Amino acid sequence: MIEVKYNICDEVVYLNTATMKLEKVIVRGVRIVPTGISKADDGKDVLDGYVILYETQNGPVLAESEAFSSEEEAREAWRGLVDKL
């Protein structure tokens, strides 16, 4: 079973890389896109991987890794990523 982190009408925070500012948006849709499907020995399709996308109101489509529940959570995640560079 696939579980999503955010639901429709949830507010999420993301880093707008054009303005370099954290912004808040509302989730208006959730899309699960397969990144790999293979065939099992019995010939049935098997999901190998997927990405969860959040469509936002008047904003970008965000991958689950780009969406955060608070500005603090976003700052911490981005600091951790930059520290690894």
* The residue to which tokens 């780009």 are assigned: 66
Beta strand ranges found along 1-85 (DSSP E): 11-16, 21-39, 45-56, 61-63
> If the chain, 85 residues long, is cut into consecutive pieces of 10 residues, what is the mean pLDDT of each piece?
95 95 97 96 95 93 97 95 87
Q: What is the pTM of this model?
A: 0.86
For residue 38, the model assigns a pLDDT of 96
